[in-house]
């Protein structure tokens, strides 16, 4: 399901997350309508009139038990409903086994992406890095190891519905599977200093062929992996 008020959903769990949001919206929307309409009705119906006196009512135990129980039940339901999705997204033990490892390092005010190279392994000779550009293949699982060099940043890809803080001194795992090709944006979502607003990276979701071509250009002998640290590179890729 796609809703106009959300940006595109482009990850495996994006739609489920939107649906959860909409479910909560329906529940809270119903409560909202009951309360606000009820309030308005009362304000009109029981407005001050001369000669009339308010009824002396101190409470009603049955009514109070009802409106204590219903929210409790609804909230337990929402909790139970949310938990599986949450643990599937965030539990490090449940990251898909075939996920390609990515090393993401945040620092004031840029992102560095470490790619595993054609062998799919981090820490080998064919690794290469890219600044402020995340290139991934559609329908492929990715496992991100997030680190921060200085302060806390937050890895936020709105179209993937993924957000995870990067904390200095910690290595935090996150994963995603893009489901839609195209160019998207990655933002820093945690205040990290005066350049927080421009700590932006671009996300490229490729077809496998496109990605292979791009990767070849990255590891070609004329452009050694470590050379890509200049600021302007982001604009010309693709």
Partner 1 sequence: MTTAGVAAEHLEHALHDDRPFIRKYVFSTDHKIIGIQFLFLSLFFLLVGGVLAMVIRWQLGFPGKAMPLPGAWPSTMAPDGVVLPEFYTALVTMHGTFMVFFAIMPLLVGVFANYLIPLKIGAPDMAFPRLNMWSFWLMIPAGALMVAGFFVEGGAASSGWTGYAPLSANPEYTGATYGQQLWCLSLIVFALSSLLGSVNYITTVVNLRAPGMTWFRLPLSIWALFITAILALLAVPILAGALIMLLFDVVLHTNFFLPAGGGQPLMWQHLFWFFGHPEVYILILPAMGIASDLIANGSRKPIFGYHSMVYAICGIAFLGWVVWGHHMFQSGMNPRLGTTFMVSTMFIAVPSAIKVFNWMGTMWRGNIHFTTPMLNGIAFVAMFTIGGLSGIFMAATPADMYIHDTYYIVAHIHYVLFGGSLFAIFGGIYFWFPKMFGKMMSERLGKIHFALTFVAYNLTFFPMHILGIGGHMRRIYDPSQYEFLRPLQPMNEFISLSAFALFISQLPFIWNFFHSLFWGKKADINPWHDNGLEWTAPSPPPHGNFETTPTVYHGPYEFSRPDMEQDYLPQNQPLPAPQPVAH
Applying CB under 5 A, the span of 33-41, 84-92, 148-156, 169-177 interacting with Cu ion comes to 148-156
Binding string to Cu ion for residues 176 to 195, with x set by CB under 5 A, is what?
------------x---x---
Applying CB under 5 A, the span of 14-22, 82-90, 147-155, 217-225 interacting with Cu ion comes to 147-155
Of 62 and 236, the one with the shorter C-beta distance to partner 1 is 62
Determine the size of the site formed for partner 1 (CB under 8 A).
88
Whole-angstrom CA distances from 98 to 79, 83, 89, 101, 177 are 30, 24, 15, 9, 11
Of 89 and 199, the one with the shorter C-beta distance to Cu ion is 199
Q: Which of residues 196-215 bind partner 1 (CB under 8 A)?
A: 196-198, 200
115 within 8 A of 129, measured Cβ to Cβ: yes
Q: If we measure between CA atoms, which residue out of 188, 216, 208, 206 comes closest to residue 128? A: 216
Place of tokens 């649906």: 19
Q: Does residue number 163 form part of the binding site for Cu ion (CB under 5 A)? A: no
Q: Which of 111, 113, 115, 156 binds partner 1 (CB under 8 A)?
A: 156
Q: Does residue number 235 form part of the binding site for partner 1 (CB under 8 A)? A: no
Distance separating the N- and C-terminal Cα atoms of the chain: 30
SS3 assignment, position 229: coil
Q: Does residue number 26 form part of the binding site for partner 1 (CB under 8 A)? A: no
Applying CB under 5 A, the span of 29-37, 62-70, 122-130, 199-207 interacting with Cu ion comes to 199-207
Taken in order 121, 123, 129, 131, the sign of the CA dihedral is positive
* CA separation for the pair 32, 103 (Å, rounded): 44
In the complex, least distance from residue 108 CB atom to partner 1, rounded to whole angstroms = 7
Q: Does residue number 196 form part of the binding site for Cu ion (CB under 5 A)? A: yes
25 sits in which H/E element:
helix 14-45
Q: Which of 15, 99, 138, 189 binds partner 1 (CB under 8 A)?
A: 189
Of 197 and 213, the one with the shorter C-beta distance to partner 1 is 197
Which of the choices partner 1, Cu ion, none does residue 223 contact, using the CB cut-off of 5 to 8 A by kind? none
Q: Which of residues 33-62 bind partner 1 (CB under 8 A)?
A: 35-36, 38-39, 42-43, 46-49, 52-60
Q: Does residue number 161 form part of the binding site for partner 1 (CB under 8 A)? A: yes
Q: Does residue number 192 form part of the binding site for partner 1 (CB under 8 A)? A: yes
Angle CA 83–84–86, to nearest 5 = 65
* CA separation for the pair 185, 158 (Å, rounded): 7
102 within 8 A of 87, measured Cβ to Cβ: no
111 within 8 A of 104, measured Cβ to Cβ: yes
SS3 assignment, position 222: coil
Positions that interact with Cu ion (CB under 5 A)? 153, 188, 192, 196, 199
């Amino acid at each position: 399901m796609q809703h106009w008020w959300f940006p595109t959903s482009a990850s495996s769990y994006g739609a489920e997350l939107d649906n959860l949001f909409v479910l909560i919206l329906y529940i809270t929307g119903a409560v909202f309508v009951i309360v606000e309409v009820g309030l308005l009705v009362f304000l009109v119906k029981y407005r001050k009139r001369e000669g009339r006196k308010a009824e002396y009512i101190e409470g009603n135990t049955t009514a109070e038990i009802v409106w204590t129980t219903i929210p409790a039940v609804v909230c337990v339901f929402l909790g139970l409903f949310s938990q599986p999705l949450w643990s599937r997204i965030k539990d490090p033990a449940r990251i898909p086994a075939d996920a390609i490892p990515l090393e993401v390092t945040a620092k004031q005010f840029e992102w560095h992406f470490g790619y595993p190279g054609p062998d799919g392994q981090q820490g080998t000779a064919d690794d290469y890095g890219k600044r402020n550009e995340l290139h991934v293949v559609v329908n492929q699982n990715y496992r991100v190891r997030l680190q921060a060099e200085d302060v806390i940043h937050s890895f936020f890809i709105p179209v993937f519905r993924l957000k995870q803080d990067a904390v200095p001194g910690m290595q935090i795992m996150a994963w995603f599977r893009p489901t839609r090709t195209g160019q998207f944006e990655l933002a820093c979502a945690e205040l990290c200093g005066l350049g927080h607003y421009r700590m932006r990276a671009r996300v490229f979701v490729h077809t496998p062929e496109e990605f292979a071509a791009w990767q070849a250009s990255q590891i070609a002998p004329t452009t050694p992996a470590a050379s890509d640290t200049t600021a302007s590179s982001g604009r010309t890729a693709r």
